[in-house]
Structure 1
Amino acid sequence: MSSLRTLVFFATPAHSCSYLPDRDATTMFVDPRARVDKRLYSQLTALGFRRSGSHYYRPHCEHCNACVPVRLDTRAFRPDRSQRRVWKRNQDVTFRLVPARFSERYYQLYAHYINERHADGDMYPPSRDQFQSFLVEGATDSWFLEITLDDELIGLAVVDVLDDGLSAIYTIFHPDYDDRSLGTLAILWQVQEARERGLPWVYLGYWISESRKMNYKTRFRPIEALLDGTWQAFDPNTRDR
């Protein structure tokens, strides 16, 4: 089994940034041949890495530090008025946590979501192979949170269990239920689940001040950011842009 001391890292050539279209990006990733268990995955996450399928990566851009890893303190979190409304509005939905796997039912929701919400992104057009490689492969204590309404699957959140928290990998939802704020609902559920497991953190990935798609992450407080190699309390309003 690999360890932090034995891992080999690679960097990609510069490529167009997925979030800031006027910039180039470089990504550092773990050697795909490495055997990453839950302990090592947890250590990598604490260092700002994320998982995409079998790949563990983090931004490594020479002249840009816009991507800020953030995590939510589950012990101190208190939902604001808007988040309480989301929870109350969705009292009629059902949650079920199941092992991460491919199913046609999941894929159809995923394809509909990508086609309707991300047709301008690098995941368009969707495919079954893409779903498998992005959300199923490389699973290490990885789960799908099914969100159903009257037996209809309206949301699906990919959740990894770490030694010190949950990692919110990705959430998809049926665009017809946009008014239910299912992305926010999925994070609220993960906070509750982490508390029940005695885990202090929900890792939310990267926050980018110039990306409107990332704004929802800092609506959850208190939040910490990995800055200069240290996790510290974070106020996005004071972040230099």
Structure 2
Amino acid sequence: MTQHPTQSPQFFLTAPSPCPYLEGQFERKVFTHLVGEKAPEMNDLLTQGGFRRSQNIAYRPACETCRACVSVRILAQEFQPSRNMRRVLSLNDDLVGTMHDAEPSTEQYSLFRAYLDARHKRGGMSDMTVLDYAMMVEDTHVDTRIIEYRRRGPDTFVTGQGSGELVAVALTDQMADGLSMVYSYFDPELGDRSLGTFMILDHIERTRAAGLPHVYLGYWVNGSRKMNYKMRFQPQEHLGPKGWERYAHEAV
């Protein structure tokens, strides 16, 4: 009789619920808990296997009639920004991203709340309280960081940090093969800056500088316009039945 180690993860399946991305579809997810000293190693393995992390839960789609959700990762060392992306970098040249431990703040929540109210008023996160936000940031057993983006200040050259108001935030997992962008948000009144694109570009540069290969973007949902932006960051790989394979797509 085979003995399984007590630390082997247990997986569970959710009940069907309406898909938030594709009308008329129903989603199911398989999930497990990321806890204990093996959580960072398990998070690496599961992320490479197409899972995403939310607090201490790792999940991936397990829908019965749809396969539209596809895991995406950017090949950071090969990436070259498009003309439009170079413009975004130039527009945000006055911003500095500073990496911190995963600790929430009232300033972060204020920006998070403004972002949700402007961009996702009817989304599943729209009623998140300050306590919910704190749990989203703190409830992690893996190597999670907060990157805060602020304008350059007079001491930035010395401290390496920005000053002034917070304009964007990324909640990011550091993994053995790169960075996984768990969640990001920004000042909705600064739409002309394309801060969402800027934060992805910043994560690519951080990954390149660390000599690591991948930036994980979560799921591209084929047929969902709101997810099309992920296709712009080339080259990238998609996870399919044969494993991770290079995906050819013309960048914008």
TM-score range, shorter chain: over 0.9
Structure showing greater radius of gyration is 2
Runs of 4+ in structure 1 off by over 6 angstroms are none
Asked whether the 8 Å contact 1:74–1:201 carries over to 2, the reply is: yes
| Equivalent position to 2:148, from 138, 146, 154 | 146
**1:94 is matched by which residue type in structure 2?**
V
Structure 1 portions without partners, runs of 5+: none
Matching of residue 234 in structure 1 with residue 247 in structure 2 = yes
- Cα offsets for 1:58-104 (capped at 9, x unmatched): 00011111100000001110000010000011111121111111110
Deviation at 1:129, TM superposition (A): 2.2
Deviation at 1:33, TM superposition (A): 6.1
Matching of residue 214 in structure 1 with residue 227 in structure 2 = yes
Structure 2 portions without partners, runs of 5+: 152-162
Alignment-derived partner of residue 66 in structure 1: 68
For residues 17 and 154 of structure 1, the distance between their equivalents in structure 2, rounded to whole angstroms, comes to 31
**2:103 is matched by which residue type in structure 1?**
R
Q: What RMSD over aligned residues (CA atoms) do the two structures have, in Å? A: 2.0
Alignment-derived partner of residue 210 in structure 2: 197
Q: SS at the partner of 2:216?
A: strand
Alignment-derived partner of residue 160 in structure 2: none
TM-score, normalised to structure 2, is 0.88
Percent of pairs identical after alignment?
A: 37
Matching of residue 133 in structure 1 with residue 138 in structure 2 = no
Deviation at 1:32, TM superposition (A): 6.0
Q: SS at the partner of 2:20?
A: coil
TM-score, normalised to structure 1, is 0.92
Alignment-derived partner of residue 27 in structure 2: 25
Alignment-derived partner of residue 14 in structure 2: 12
- Change beyond 3 A, Cα 1:36–1:59: farther
Asked whether the 8 Å contact 2:40–2:141 carries over to 1, the reply is: no
Alignment-derived partner of residue 89 in structure 2: 87
For residues 148 and 32 of structure 1, the distance between their equivalents in structure 2, rounded to whole angstroms, comes to 32
**1:88 is matched by which residue type in structure 2?**
S
- Change beyond 3 A, Cα 1:79–1:131: same
Alignment-derived partner of residue 80 in structure 2: 78
Count of paired positions = 236
Q: SS at the partner of 2:77?
A: coil
Deviation at 1:34, TM superposition (A): 6.5
Q: Aligned ranges for residues 105-120 of structure 1 at < 5 Å?
A: 105-120=107-122
Asked whether the 8 Å contact 1:115–1:126 carries over to 2, the reply is: no
For residues 104 and 176 of structure 2, the distance between their equivalents in structure 1, rounded to whole angstroms, comes to 25
